[in-house]
């Protein structure tokens, strides 16, 4: 059933059936009718994505453990971490908003990084991670909800608003978030779901036939 | 070859998985069918897409009103106390000379949600009327709506950070107002609406082939 249709690809935006062709590294195929990107051939997709992901994991820890910035008023100093901000909002009775921030700024990016590592590290070592379709599906479904780059802009806006009234001391996490934004964008560009599916499937078939 | 007689997957009884993009044959039974590779549910078209999208869009229109009329942020210090809605916050930023920030906040919190709602309404109406009007432009519009959706979360993050940071007893205080809840709901609902909309419906009226899901 799948073999006969293996070379076909249907555009996810207009459903046009097209034939799958080999691409040169770095190129992408777009739909003939609506122009949507059908698939890409990212260079060294697995290696690069894994490298960016592991780097992002470390920066992510820094971004969440250290304070973002501190303000000083007449010798009184207050500093916050991102999680501290979420807790404080919870205490102020804004529970739904606090949960929303917790999910979009902390949990989803963490889950995204964890899933990518879980999938790519074994693949790089020549193994097949158990239940990989579940993780590929998770990755696909949480992707729109990770908002680290929006948070970064939010940090900058807050910084400007604060400097009008207070002396602001930027913290370690502010720089970490800036780097994290770049690393996540790089990982997303390097990641090629189609390639990962193909490699995982091939490896699994290989193991089963042995 | 004109686009009208190009083959579409659904017309050939083929179904493309929306997670892993594997094309497989649709069995045509009413029972649920699952992708042989990734196990996601397969549909020729997302069932109930238009109705659910309408419901989410209408709910967002309703919530957009409290999001913009209620207080988003209360700021107080020894000398002043003010309550800001989103728009009055933008005006305040503009007056105090932070033009760039004022523009960014205006675009992210006022313009983007409203444009998103109008665009989705336009797409829904055109799909329901089986319009063949500029499908390529409408697909582009959908892509744009999908891409800018997350940026409306900006103000929520700003309020969270400020409210947590500025709690220095009687000296200064920043509080998140009730608009934050409504606003957060608008962002989430419009994002869900965008995901619920099936862009393939834009192209279906151009097709001569018949198919049933």
Q: So what's the pLDDT on residue B21?
A: 81
Q: Which residue from A8, A13, A193 is facing B200, i.e. has the nearest CB?
A: A13
Interface test with chain A among B27, B72, B165, B188, by most A beta carbons within 10 Å: B165
Q: Given an 8 Å threshold on Cβ–Cβ distance, is B16 in contact with A136?
A: no
Distance from CA of B178 to the nearest CA of A (A): 8
Contacts of A169 in chain B (CB under 8 A): none
- ipTM, 2 decimals? 0.88
Q: So what's the pLDDT on residue A40?
A: 83
Q: Given an 8 Å threshold on Cβ–Cβ distance, is A97 in contact with B159?
A: yes
B119 φ, ψ to 5°? Answer: -65, -45
* Cβ burial, residue A195 (10 Å; 0-12/13-18/19+): middle
- As beta bridge partners, residue A57 has none
Q: Given an 8 Å threshold on Cβ–Cβ distance, is B162 in contact with A15?
A: no
From the list B199, B194, B85, B117, the residue with the least C-alpha distance to A11 is B199
Q: Which residue from B16, B39, B155 is facing A133, i.e. has the nearest CB?
A: B39
Which chain A residue is nearest to residue B149, measuring alpha carbons? A144
* Stretch (H or E) spanning B71: none
Across chain A, mean pLDDT equals 88
Distance from CA of B76 to the nearest CA of A (A): 11
From the list A181, A163, A140, the residue with the least C-alpha distance to A70 is A163
What mean pLDDT is predicted for residues A139-154? 92
Q: So what's the pLDDT on residue B2?
A: 44
Alpha helices in chain A (DSSP H): 45-65, 82-91, 95-101, 108-124, 132-142, 148-163, 172-190, 193-209
Q: Which of A25-34, A106-115, B21-30, B60-69 has the lowest mean pLDDT?
A: B21-30
Where b means 16+ CB within 10 Å and e means fewer, B17-33 reads: bbbbbbbbbbeeeeeeb
User: What is the rounded CA–CA span in Å between residue B175 and residue B83?
Assistant: 9
User: What is the rounded CA–CA span in Å between residue A5 and residue A7?
Assistant: 6
List chain B residues with pLDDT less than 50. Answer: 1-4
Where b means 16+ CB within 10 Å and e means fewer, B127-154 reads: beeeeeeebeebbebbbebbebbbbbbb
User: What is the rounded CA–CA span in Å between residue B186 and residue B141?
Assistant: 20
B3 conformational bin, left if phi > 0, alpha if psi -120 to 50, beta if neither: alpha
Contacts of A145 in chain B (CB under 8 A): 191
| B170, two tokens | 């009687």
Q: Given an 8 Å threshold on Cβ–Cβ distance, is A12 in contact with B18?
A: yes
Which chain A residue is nearest to residue B207, measuring alpha carbons? A16
Between vectors from CA A15 to CA A9 and to CA A18, what angle results, nearest 5°? Answer: 35
Interface test with chain A among B156, B180, B193, by most A beta carbons within 10 Å: B156
What mean pLDDT is predicted for residues A169-194? 92
| B9, two tokens | 């997957």
Can you tell me which residue has the tokens 């997957």? Answer: B9
Q: Which residue from A140, A144, A147 is facing B19, i.e. has the nearest CB?
A: A140
Distance from CA of B50 to the nearest CA of A (A): 15
Contacts of B142 in chain A (CB under 8 A): 13
Contacts of A133 in chain B (CB under 8 A): 20, 37-39
Residue A50 pLDDT greater than 70, yes or no: yes
Q: Given an 8 Å threshold on Cβ–Cβ distance, is A85 in contact with B159?
A: no
Q: What is the DSSP letter of A102?
A: I
Q: So what's the pLDDT on residue B169?
A: 62
pTM, whole model, 2 decimals? 0.88
User: What is the rounded CA–CA span in Å between residue A76 and residue B168?
Assistant: 8
Q: Given an 8 Å threshold on Cβ–Cβ distance, is A154 in contact with B175?
A: no
Q: Given an 8 Å threshold on Cβ–Cβ distance, is A1 in contact with B36?
A: yes
Contacts of B156 in chain A (CB under 8 A): 97, 100-101, 154
With contact defined as beta carbons under 8 Å apart, do A123 and A196 qualify? Answer: yes
Long-range contacts of A93-98 (CB under 8 A, 24+ apart): A94/B163, A94/B176, A94/B180, A94/B181, A96/B181, A96/B184, A96/B185, A97/B156, A97/B159, A97/B160, A97/B176, A97/B180, A97/B181, A97/B184, A98/B160
Residue A2 pLDDT greater than 50, yes or no: no
Long-range contacts of A122-128 (CB under 8 A, 24+ apart): A123/A46, A123/A196, A123/A199, A123/A200, A123/A203, A124/A46, A124/A47, A124/A50, A126/A203, A127/A203, A128/A200, A128/A203, A128/A204, A128/A207
Q: So what's the pLDDT on residue A145?
A: 93
Interface test with chain A among B18, B141, B157, by most A beta carbons within 10 Å: B157
Where b means 16+ CB within 10 Å and e means fewer, A35-49 reads: ebebbbbbeebbebb
Q: Given an 8 Å threshold on Cβ–Cβ distance, is A157 in contact with B172?
A: no
User: What is the rounded CA–CA span in Å between residue B44 and residue A191?
Assistant: 27
pLDDT digits (tens, 9 = 90+) for B48-58: 899 999 999 99
Distance from CA of B32 to the nearest CA of A (A): 18
Q: Given an 8 Å threshold on Cβ–Cβ distance, is B176 in contact with A97?
A: yes
Which chain A residue is nearest to residue B96, measuring alpha carbons? A164
């Amino acid at each position: 059933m799948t073999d006969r249709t293996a070379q076909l690809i249907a555009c996810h935006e207009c459903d046009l059936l097209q034939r799958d062709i080999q691409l040169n590294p770095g190129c992408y195929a777009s739909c003939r009718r609506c122009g949507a990107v059908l698939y890409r051939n990212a260079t060294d997709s697995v290696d690069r994505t894994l490298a960016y992901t592991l780097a992002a994991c470390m920066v992510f820890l820094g971004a969440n453990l250290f304070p973002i910035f501190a303000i000083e008023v007449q010798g009184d100093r207050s500093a916050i971490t991102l999680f501290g901000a979420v807790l404080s909002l919870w205490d102020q009775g804004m529970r739904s908003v606090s949960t929303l921030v917790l999910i979009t700024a902390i949990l989803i990016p963490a889950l995204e990084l964890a899933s990518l590592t879980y999938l790519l590290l074994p693949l790089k070592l020549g193994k097949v991670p158990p239940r990989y379709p579940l993780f590929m599906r998770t990755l696909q479904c949480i992707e729109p909800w990770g908002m680290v780059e929006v948070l970064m802009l939010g940090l900058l806006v807050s910084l400007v608003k604060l400097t009008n009234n207070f002396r602001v001391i930027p913290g370690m996490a502010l720089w970490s978030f800036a780097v994290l934004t770049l690393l996540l964008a790089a990982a997303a560009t390097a990641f090629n779901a189609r390639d990962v599916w193909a490699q995982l499937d091939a490896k699994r078939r290989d193991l089963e036939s042995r | 070859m004109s686009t009208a007689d190009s083959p579409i997957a659904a017309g050939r009884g083929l179904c493309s998985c929306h997670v892993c993009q594997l094309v497989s044959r649709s069995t045509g039974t009413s029972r649920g069918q699952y992708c042989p590779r990734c196990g996601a549910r397969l549909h020729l078209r997302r069932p109930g897409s238009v109705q659910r999208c309408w419901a989410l869009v209408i709910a967002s229109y309703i919530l957009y009103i409290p999001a913009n009329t209620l207080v988003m942020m209360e700021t107080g210090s020894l000398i002043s106390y003010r309550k800001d809605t989103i728009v009055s916050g933008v005006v305040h930023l503009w007056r105090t000379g932070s033009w760039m920030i004022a523009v960014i906040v205006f675009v992210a919190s006022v313009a983007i949600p409203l444009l998103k709602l109008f665009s989705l309404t336009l797409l829904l109406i055109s799909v329901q009327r089986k319009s063949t009007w500029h499908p390529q432009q409408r697909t582009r519009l959908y892509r744009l709506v999908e891409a800018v959706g997350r940026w409306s979360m900006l103000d929520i993050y700003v309020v969270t950070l400020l409210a947590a940071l500025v709690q220095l007893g009687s000296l200064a205080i920043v509080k998140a107002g009730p608009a934050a809840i409504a606003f957060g709901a608008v962002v989430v609902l419009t994002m869900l609406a965008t995901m619920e909309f099936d862009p393939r419906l834009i192209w279906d009226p151009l097709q001569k082939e018949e198919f049933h899901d």
